[in-house]
A and B are shown apart, each in its own frame.
Chain A
Amino acid sequence: DAGVIQSPRHEVTEMGQEVTLRCKPISGHNSLFWYRQTMMRGLELLIYFNNNVPIDDSGMPEDRFSAKMPNASFSTLKIQPSEPRDSAVYFCASSFGSSRPQHFGDGTRLSIL
């Protein structure tokens, strides 16, 4: 079975540029999560969608970050404009119901120069 698929796996770009991260959840899962992982702060929940609707975006750092889920099989996380402090590994996870175990993708390693 295909797991959570994220693209790109690596992204290097200059500060000020727009960055778009993509996620395809596991088919049939109706909950989707975006996380950020850094050495200093560990894993942080950025946003949670249920049935394509954003339920909790309290973890989104600031207005430069936005996330969408136009349908059940696709979500994006966008950073505009990007800054060096956004450098991190971004993970997407999905689950069948918000209380079920979350399944993680392999992440996007983002470097902002």
Chain B
Amino acid sequence: AQSVTQLDSHVSVSEGTPVLLRCNYSSSYSPSLFWYVQHPNKGLQLLLKYTSAATLVKGINGFEAEFKKSETSFHLTKPSAHMSDAAEYFCVVSDNDDYKLSFGAGTTVTVRA
């Protein structure tokens, strides 16, 4: 069985500064890992997916995530936050590319001007 822990329920950053969203996972098999973003009154949008081809995964809108098997982590970063990055972010895991996704509780990002 798989599970996800997002270590911060809320992150507040200033515009132009780096963003770090932390995620730890557990998986019995080879995990597939995703980050999704949800803006208010919108659905979840895929930011990036770890496919085991490379440990550093680049996504849309300048986001990237690093898979660290030894630490069972998949943290999301962005070098410079933009006001439009204010949203809720979900770390998601599935076992062996299975259709069943386990969602983290979400991290709300606030960007200060």
Tell me if chain B binds chain A. yes
CB nearest neighbor in A for B42: A106
In the complex, which of the residues B44, B90, B99 contacts A99, with contact meaning CB atoms closer than 8 Å?
Answer: B99
Q: Say yes or no: is B41 at the interface (Cβ < 8 Å to chain A).
A: yes
- For A45, what are the chain B residues with a Cβ–Cβ distance below 8 Å? 100-101
- The answer to whether B49 and A104 touch across the interface, beta carbons within 8 angstroms, is no
Interface hits, A5-19 → B, CB 8 Å: none
In the complex, which of the residues A55, A56, A99, A106 contacts B97, with contact meaning CB atoms closer than 8 Å?
Answer: A99
Count chain B residues whose beta carbon lies closer than 8 angstroms to a beta carbon of A: 19
- For A42, what are the chain B residues with a Cβ–Cβ distance below 8 Å? 103, 105-106
Given A42-B103, A42-B106, A43-B103: A99 in contact with B98 (beta carbons within 8 A): yes
B 71-113 binary contact with A (CB < 8 Å = 1; else 0)? 0000000000000000000100000011111010110000000
Q: Say yes or no: is B11 at the interface (Cβ < 8 Å to chain A).
A: no
B 32-54 binary contact with A (CB < 8 Å = 1; else 0)? 10101000011111100100000
How many angstroms between the C-alpha atoms of A34 and B105 in the bound complex? Answer: 18
Since A45-B100, A91-B43, A99-B98 are in contact, a sample of 14 more A-B pairs with Cβ atoms closer than 8 Å, ordered by chain A residue number, is A4-B43, A33-B99, A45-B101, A56-B99, A56-B100, A91-B44, A95-B99, A98-B99, A101-B49, A103-B46, A104-B45, A107-B42, A107-B43, A109-B41
Interface positions of B (Cβ within 8 A of A): 32, 34, 36, 41-46, 49, 90, 97-101, 103, 105-106
28 residue pairs of the A-B complex, CB under 8 angstroms, read: A31-B99, A33-B99, A42-B103, A42-B105, A43-B90, A43-B103, A45-B100, A45-B101, A48-B99, A56-B99, A56-B100, A91-B43, A93-B43, A93-B44, A95-B99, A98-B99, A99-B32, A99-B98, A99-B99, A101-B49, A104-B36, A104-B43, A104-B44, A104-B45, A105-B43, A106-B42, A106-B43, A109-B41
